[in-house]
């Protein structure tokens, strides 16, 4: 047996007969006859021109490139340890990933494909020709019991262009075996749904005093999610369900319900295909969230704004809501913002008679405009139309910049004494990023969707940056008791900008 590099994986196995319901695991061609899932993809960095999608790609790119023939740009980041589990239905016995291109530092940077107990493939170096193509994994059990992982690890120096997986294929056994692999919080899992009515199951637990957010995205057609305490969900038996007509689904389960109805039990999750035209992946992430971080906010102005300004702010705030969810890995959720227009002098930054949480500043309330900032003394996010960098309207109309300020405001403990810091360092008038792929370092870089966690904080700083004592945002936030936990390994890079929160996460304008 090859040496295993995988984290432990817990699976709840259950003797199971399928009740009458619309969804059930769907059989497919028996191994070794394969069925192709063209919609599956996974990449570590743009290999070809235009291949990298900043909003959906799984892994961050290096924001501080030092390019050379042996280290071409753009390239992936150092110090990665990213793991994604792919789960199939109760019939699925084999899966194979089509590696279309591969260029990683020989021997030191790797893509491993395997289970919790065995590596089936370890890829490294620059591959071409027959070294590319499908990488098969056929299991003695089923992917519903034994998920197959994709793990990307990189060392502290030298990166390359990365890799792309463009497609997968799968095969089945003749009989189903149902299990429920553990859905670790803050980690993306992929349920590979084969056809309409197919279903993949998971189990998970929760943190005392915290609720749960469950997000499903990335599929095609109509994908649903159901949750049940202590038993597998069916079409008609569940505690919570999200069944919109698309492939984005979102559930928030309150801390009170979990404590009162499910203490000492596991939660079971069913991701099902109500209607899909082709085999396709559906990604799922579960996050613990404290009740005080499910937010309803207000935004206003220090001047009477135009209709055009209000419309543009609505778009920027809705983007910031989604980016805030993504950069905190679902541990801060702004479910609504009410945007109020100032009625004139004496009503600066007033929202329905009280101070706003967010203020779009033109005239300098409560102080002269100074770019974007979280004012911890007045507990307000101020977004200025002047003195912004790099563009005058960067604070007003850029969702990622507003999300950066939300990091200060809503990943903090005590508003004055425990404000979350920026992940950059001012030294002799120059700004050095301490964690380049964090939105708390560079809120204008379009590919930075995360906060740094302990694993990679200060591992990709601006070249020549001086040493500082700053710790990561996630560690600060967990110390302050603001969020339940920090990610294990490299956080997922999905921005959630295109995510539909099932009518939550909206901005309502009061002109």
Collapsed DSSP state (helix, strand, coil) of residue 94: strand
CA-based nearest residue to 380, from 404, 353, 349: 349
Fold match between domain 27-176 and domain 180-289? yes
CA distance 34 to 212: 37
CB 61 within 8 A of CB 448: no
Question: For residue 390, is the peptide bond before it cis, meaning its omega torsion is within 30 degrees of 0?
Answer: yes
User: Top-level CATH class of 180-289?
Assistant: mainly beta
The predicted structure's pLDDT at residue 303? 87
The predicted structure's pLDDT at residue 483? 92
User: Domain residues of the chain, as ranges?
Assistant: 27-176, 180-289, 292-510
Q: Which two tokens stand for residue 74?
A: 């753009």
The predicted structure's pLDDT at residue 71? 66
Alpha helices in 328-417 (DSSP H): 394-397, 399-410
Biggest CA–CA distance in the chain, Å, is 75
The predicted structure's pLDDT at residue 54? 54
Second CATH level (architecture) for the domain 27-176: Sandwich (2.60)
CB atoms within 10 A of CB 430: 12
How crowded is the C-beta side of 361, counted as CA atoms within 13 Å? 26
The predicted structure's pLDDT at residue 187? 94
CB atoms within 10 A of CB 185: 24
Threshold 0.75, pTM exceeds? yes
Strands 424-427 and 240-242: unpaired
CA distance 394 to 402: 9
Question: For residue 366, is the peptide bond before it cis, meaning its omega torsion is within 30 degrees of 0?
Answer: yes
CB 305 within 8 A of CB 255: no
Collapsed DSSP state (helix, strand, coil) of residue 35: strand
Strands (E), 196-279: 199-204, 211-217, 222-229, 240-242, 249-253, 267-275
CA distance 484 to 465: 31
The pLDDT profile of the chain, 511 residues, written as one tens digit per residue, is: 334 444 445 555 443 444 444 799 999 999 999 999 988 988 765 544 444 455 566 787 776 666 677 666 677 888 889 999 999 999 999 999 999 999 999 999 999 999 999 999 999 999 999 999 999 999 999 999 999 999 999 998 888 888 989 999 999 999 999 899 999 999 999 999 999 999 999 999 999 999 999 999 987 899 999 999 999 999 999 999 999 999 999 999 999 999 999 999 999 999 999 999 999 999 999 999 999 999 999 999 988 999 999 999 999 999 999 999 999 999 999 999 999 998 777 788 899 999 999 999 887 666 655 578 888 778 888 888 754 444 556 788 889 989 999 999 999 876 445 678 888 877 777 777 888 778 888 776 667 788 887 777 777 777 777 777 778 888 888 888 899 999 888 888 899 999 999 989 999 999 8
Burial class (CB in 10 A: 0-12, 13-18, 19+), 225: buried
């Amino acid at each position: 047996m090859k040496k295993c590099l995988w984290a432990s994986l817990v699976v709840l196995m259950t003797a199971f007969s399928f009740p009458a319901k619309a969804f059930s695991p769907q059989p497919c061609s028996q191994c070794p006859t394969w069925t192709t899932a063209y919609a599956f993809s996974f990449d570590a960095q743009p290999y070809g021109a235009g291949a990298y999608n900043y909003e959906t790609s799984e892994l961050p790119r290096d924001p501080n490139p030092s390019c050379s023939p042996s280290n071409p740009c753009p390239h992936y980041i150092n110090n990665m340890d990213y793991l994604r589990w792919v789960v199939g239905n109760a019939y699925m016995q084999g899966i194979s990933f089509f590696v279309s291109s591969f260029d990683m530092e020989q021997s030191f940077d790797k893509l491993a494909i395997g289970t919790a107990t065995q590596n089936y493939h370890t890829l490294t170096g620059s591959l071409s020709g027959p070294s590319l193509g499908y990488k098969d994994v056929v299991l003695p059990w089923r992917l519903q019991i034994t998920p197959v992982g994709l793990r990307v690890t990189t060392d502290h120096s030298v990166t390359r262009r990365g890799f792309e997986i463009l497609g997968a294929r799968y095969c089945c056994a003749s009989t189903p075996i149902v299990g429920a692999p553990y859905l670790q919080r803050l980690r993306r899992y992929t349920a590979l749904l084969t056809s309409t009515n197919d279903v993949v199951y998971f189990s998970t637990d929760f943190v005392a005093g915290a609720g749960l957010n469950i997000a499903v995205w990335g599929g095609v057609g109509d994908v649903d999610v159901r949750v049940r305490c202590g038993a597998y969900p069916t079409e008609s038996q569940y505690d919570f369900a999200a069944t919109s007509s698309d492939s984005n689904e979102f559930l928030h389960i309150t801390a009170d319900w979990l404590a009162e109805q499910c203490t000492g039990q596991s939660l079971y999750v069913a991701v099902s295909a109500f209607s899909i035209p082709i085999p396709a992946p559906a990604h799922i992430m579960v996050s613990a969230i404290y009740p005080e971080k499910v937010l309803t906010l207000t935004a206003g102005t220090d001047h009477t704004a135009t209709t055009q300004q209000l419309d543009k702010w609505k778009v920027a705030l809705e983007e910031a809501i989604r980016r805030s969810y993504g950069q905190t890995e679902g541990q801060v959720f702004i479910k609504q913002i009410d945007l109020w227009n100032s009625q004139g002098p004496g009503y600066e930054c007033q929202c329905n008679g009280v101070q706003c949480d967010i203020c779009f500043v033109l005239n300098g309330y409560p102080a002269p405009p100074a770019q974007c900032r979280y004012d911890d003394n007045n507990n307000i996010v101020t977004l200025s139309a002047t003195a912004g960098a790099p563009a005058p309207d960067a604070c007003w109309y850029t969702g990622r910049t507003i999300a950066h300020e939300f990091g200060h405001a809503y990943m903090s403990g005590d508003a004055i004494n425990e404000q979350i810091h920026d992940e950059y360092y001012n030294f002799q008038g120059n700004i050095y990023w301490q964690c380049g792929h964090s939105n708390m370092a560079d809120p204008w870089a379009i590919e930075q969707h995360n906060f740094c966690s302990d694993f990679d904080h200060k591992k990709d700083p601006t070249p020549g940056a001086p040493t500082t004592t700053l710790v990561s945002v996630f560690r600060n936030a967990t110390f302050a008791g603001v969020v339940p936990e920090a990610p294990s390994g490299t956080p997922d890079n999905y921005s959630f900008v295109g995510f539909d929160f099932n009518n939550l996460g909206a901005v309502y304008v009061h002109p």
